[in-house]
Amino acid sequence: MLSRSEIPLIWTIDRSEHIEKFYRLQDGVLVLEPRSIEAKGWPGGEPEADTPIFYRCFDAGGAFYGTFDGAKLAGIAIVDPAPVTSLPTLVQFRFLHVDRAYRKRGLGSALFASAAEAARRFGASGLYISATPTENTVNFYRHLGCTVLGLPDPELFALEPDDIHLQWLADTPGTPVSHAAEQLHSDLDEQS
């Protein structure tokens, strides 16, 4: 778990990546389109805008899962405990990022599994995810059993209209979420 005083470390995560394709939702169907960009660093103003939101979420009892490699924050997952306004059985999976140096090792899946467990603890039936529409991000969530929402929450959609709005439901059979949680705990035990 990340402590409140460690929240500013979120912005030390290297989120850079080369992106080849983006999804958009057209008539309820995901359409993949080529668009090559280099994402370098955090978008201007994001740390200043989001840090106060994260503090409020933390103070409201939000779940902050951080994975460290020594003093380096390798990945973070944040779940807001408040029910989503139009979908009150879901809680918002507010944030997931894994440092570039730690990707493709199962850390994102393990952090997602922790977030799923937090949703259960909060009494929710699942997670609401507003996903950056990159191919890797959307495919990651779909691999974990997330599905496109037919009717996104109007408030959350207004904040991120280009995102792909997804849900993960706890009773979805055959998702790799529980295995990822077991793997994370096993890896952490080995490092202790």
Q: Residues 113-128: pLDDT tens digits?
A: 999 999 999 999 999 9
Structure tokens of 148? 């496109």
In degrees and rounded to multiples of 5, residue 163 shows phi and psi of: -70, 165
At residue 92, the pLDDT reads 98
At residue 176, the pLDDT reads 58
Please state, for a pLDDT cut of 70, what percent of the chain lies above it: 90
Contact (CB, 8 A) for 122 and 80: no
Residue 189 reports pLDDT greater than 90: no
What is the sign, positive or negative, of the torsion defined by CA atoms of 189, 181, 104, 102?
A: negative
Contact (CB, 8 A) for 144 and 76: no
Please state, for a pLDDT cut of 90, what percent of the chain lies above it: 87
Model confidence at 15, pLDDT cuts 50, 70, 90, reads very high
Closest to 181 (Cα-Cα) out of 98, 94, 70, 106 = 106
Q: Residues 48-102: pLDDT tens digits?
A: 999 999 999 999 999 999 999 999 999 999 999 999 999 999 999 999 999 999 9
Contact (CB, 8 A) for 62 and 92: no
Residue 190 reports pLDDT greater than 70: no
Q: How high does pLDDT run on average in the chain?
A: 92
What is the Cα Rg of the chain in Å? 16
At residue 191, the pLDDT reads 45
Q: How long a stretch of residues is the chain?
A: 192
Model confidence at 177, pLDDT cuts 50, 70, 90, reads low
In degrees and rounded to multiples of 5, residue 38 shows phi and psi of: -105, 115
Q: How far is CA 159 from the centre of its chain?
A: 16
Q: Residues 126-152: pLDDT tens digits?
A: 999 999 999 999 999 999 999 999 999
